[in-house]
Structure 1
Amino acid sequence: MSQDGTAIAEAVPPWQHATLRELQRLERAARLPQTMVLQAARGTGLERFAQALTGWLLCQQRTNAPCGQCDGCRQWQAGNHPDALRILPEGAAQEITVDQVRVVTELLSLSRHHRGYRVVQLFPAERLNRNAANALLKTLEEPGEGTVFLLLSEQPRNLLPTVRSRAQVITVPRPSEAQAREWLVAQGISDGENRLAMYPGQPIRALEDEDQETAPLFDTALQQLEAAPSELTQVARRVAATREDATRFLEWLATQAWNDAASHLSAGPSIGTTCAVETYQLTLQARGALRANTPPQLAVESLLVSWLALRAQSRKGAGRESHVGN
């Protein structure tokens, strides 16, 4: 493999190589857009791509990959590079606020600490509220010399049009099914096909399917709900305190339902099979609602109402099947 190919392979998964190479080419030709929307499907490595691009831009050598030796690389690797800003949603509404934008614009008025770029990441960019976006528009149009904005979005249709119109949109591609399988095998994942069945087209999510710490908490919460349905609101609040928590819970429940359905099907159709399949479908609907910016607790509460009804139906059906069997 060429030096260029090796350097890129170490930074991003193979389906992102060509896009990163093209941005490197544009930078060398002094044509790199200063404001970019980086959009990609969830679970395909958008954050990895943005981090790799940021690290390369902050390197003072900028060969095929970050040199790892310059002051810029060392500070980036230590997580304290003064010319790297990452803005995440905050508060109960999980939004990027006007106060955060004001901090960014104030910092951009100062001189850069190193020779090279200053990079500002906003993730997810669709969480910019309207006031924050309006306060940022002028800066997005004219970021200033050496400043690059990376607006990361896995839900680009939810981006405000005023923000999108001021950026160059870069679509970071998703992998083919074969690429995703091969990449998981290369990461040492032996059950890659099964994981991709649970997370279709999302090899990064499949790789990171390590919810061992949260699974017992989710399982306990559902046991409590089944024992005391009147506590539905409290349970929903516990598992969906933030949008990220709600996403983890829904993905965990989808996995459980998928595995339950497969287990029941191996023994033949039953009420349990129907319950598991319908639970899986409900989690997909709830995930869709969450991605459409439904408040996380509301999305999970609606799911749990239906889940309780399914569980009650399953218990009654199981009782009838047992009676018939006797």
Structure 2
Amino acid sequence: MTDDAPVRPTEPLPWHRRAYDDLRTREAAGRLPQTLLLSAPSGTGLAHFADVVTAHLLCMAQRADERPCGTCRGCKQWQSGNHPDALALNPEGAGQEIGVDAVREALSALSLSRHYDGYRVARLHPAEALNRNAANAMLKSLEEPGPGTVFLLLSEQPRTLLATIRSRAQNLALPAPDESQSRAWLEAQGLSDIDARIAAHPVQPMHAVAAEDIATLHKQYTDALDSVLKSAAQISDCAKSLGSGRDEAVRFLDWLAAREWRQSLETVATTESAHQAVERYRLTLNARTALRAYTPPQLALESLLISWRTLQPRQRTTTGPRRPNQHEAR
């Protein structure tokens, strides 16, 4: 491993500690499911958790409570990215599918003997990227994995998976942090602009960490929404700029969902405005689901912004002369 290679995590995030300890206990007792569906909201550390579980399973230490040791051959090869019993099945690019040819190639590799006596870990991320033919090709292997093989299916949208895939896996839904947990963890990373990062991603600390200039990003999103409010003609241009790629569109939708949810909680002025905030939040989640289902980013954002604009609180207007209040009457 080179000096500048990223270090893979070996400790769970604070809000995932209980889930990790439970899996570790089950593994020590010989009750670890061979096919696990790990699900979590976007930006809350799903991949981090999978890395920690993989490190634990590939470590060659004898006792479960000593893993990952960080010094054995298994740990070192996992950290270097060259462990022969670790297999990753991912789309070739953002927003692309995992096709049947890639699955068949992976299954062919899994049919060979393991290199070491421990576990072999096959990881699919995101699992919802499996197209129907690819998913069908995996069914038998997911139902009856080979000896020592553990499948980790990672998904932020587990309901979009085929029922046949979900039925063959044991689901572990990971919790999201609350805002105080996010803040504490971000502060421990020594980051700047904590308040701005929390404002943009209150319960999505991994997105908050990844934002290189959160204040600039926050302003970009706010300015785009302001322009949509001023003129419906701006919707197409805004959707194009915000959805230049699928990852960029998802980042914007995550930010908007967090903002609308905060506004739905903070809006107490009128029942109408509270209802509108909740509806805008729902529309944002629907757009995110459509994006995960491979709707083109610009199309998903245009549809959202058209509906979002109509749900903004209306300015109150008077229809006749204003009656003076009691102080003015005097």
TM-score (norm 2): 0.71
The 3-state SS of whatever aligns with 1:148 is: strand
> For the residues of structure 2 that align with 1:92 and 1:192, how far apart are their CA atoms?
28
> For the residues of structure 2 that align with 1:253 and 1:209, how far apart are their CA atoms?
15
Q: Structure 1 residues 299 and 69, CA, compared in 2 at 3 Å: closer, same or farther?
A: same
Paired letter, 1:29: A
Map 1:54-73 → 2, pairs under 5 A: 54-61=54-61, 63=63, 64-73=66-75
Do the aligned residues in 1 keep the contact of 2:200 with 2:259 (CA within 8 Å)?
no
> For the residues of structure 2 that align with 1:149 and 1:99, how far apart are their CA atoms?
18
Q: Deviations over 1:217-257 (max 9, x none)?
A: x78x97xx99xx99976875665354223213445678999
Partner of 2:267: none
Partner of 1:160: 162
Partner of 1:37: 37
Do the aligned residues in 2 keep the contact of 1:35 with 1:167 (CA within 8 Å)?
yes
> For the residues of structure 2 that align with 1:137 and 1:307, how far apart are their CA atoms?
40
> For the residues of structure 2 that align with 1:299 and 1:147, how far apart are their CA atoms?
38
Q: Deviations over 1:47-87 (max 9, x none)?
A: 10000100111111165332222222122111122211122
Map 1:162-241 → 2, pairs under 5 A: 162-189=164-191, 191-211=193-213, 236=239, 239-240=242-243
Q: Structure 1 residues 282-291 or 138-147, which shifts more?
A: 282-291
Map 1:119-134 → 2, pairs under 5 A: 119-134=121-136
Paired letter, 1:290: R
The runs of 5 or more residues in structure 1 that have no matched partner are 1-8, 262-273, 311-326
Q: Structure 1 residues 46 and 254, CA, compared in 2 at 3 Å: closer, same or farther?
A: closer
Q: Structure 1 residues 298 and 33, CA, compared in 2 at 3 Å: closer, same or farther?
A: same
Q: Structure 1 residues 294 and 144, CA, compared in 2 at 3 Å: closer, same or farther?
A: closer
Partner of 1:268: none
The runs of 5 or more residues in structure 2 that have no matched partner are 1-8, 264-272, 312-330
Relative to its length, the structure with more helix (as a share) is 1
- What is the CA distance between 1:183 and its match in structure 2? 2.0
Paired letter, 2:160: N
Q: Structure 1 residues 32-41 or 92-101, which shifts more?
A: 92-101
> For the residues of structure 2 that align with 1:166 and 1:71, how far apart are their CA atoms?
32
Do the aligned residues in 2 keep the contact of 1:36 with 1:170 (CA within 8 Å)?
yes
Query: Structure 1 residue 290 and structure 2 residue 293: aligned?
Result: no
Q: Deviations over 1:158-178 (max 9, x none)?
A: 121111111111122222343
> For the residues of structure 2 that align with 1:15 and 1:287, how far apart are their CA atoms?
23
Partner of 2:26: 26
Q: Structure 1 residues 105 and 206, CA, compared in 2 at 3 Å: closer, same or farther?
A: same
> For the residues of structure 2 that align with 1:19 and 1:11, how far apart are their CA atoms?
12
- What is the CA distance between 1:46 and its match in structure 2? 0.9
Partner of 2:327: none
Partner of 2:315: none
Q: Deviations over 1:122-147 (max 9, x none)?
A: 11212222111111000001110111
Q: Structure 1 residues 254 and 144, CA, compared in 2 at 3 Å: closer, same or farther?
A: closer
Partner of 1:104: 106
> For the residues of structure 2 that align with 1:149 and 1:297, how far apart are their CA atoms?
34
The 3-state SS of whatever aligns with 2:134 is: helix
> For the residues of structure 2 that align with 1:308 and 1:168, how far apart are their CA atoms?
41
Query: Structure 1 residue 301 and structure 2 residue 299: aligned?
Result: no
The 3-state SS of whatever aligns with 1:11 is: coil
Two-structure CA RMSD over aligned residues (Å): 4.1
The 3-state SS of whatever aligns with 1:152 is: strand
Q: Structure 1 residues 139 and 247, CA, compared in 2 at 3 Å: closer, same or farther?
A: same
Instruction: Give the fraction of aligned pairs with identical amino acids, expressed as a percent.
Output: 51
Q: Structure 1 residues 193-202 or 157-166, which shifts more?
A: 193-202
Partner of 1:146: 148
Q: Structure 1 residues 94 and 184, CA, compared in 2 at 3 Å: closer, same or farther?
A: same
Aligned length: 292
> For the residues of structure 2 that align with 1:193 and 1:200, how far apart are their CA atoms?
9
Paired letter, 2:32: L
TM-score (norm 1): 0.72
> For the residues of structure 2 that align with 1:23 and 1:298, how far apart are their CA atoms?
41
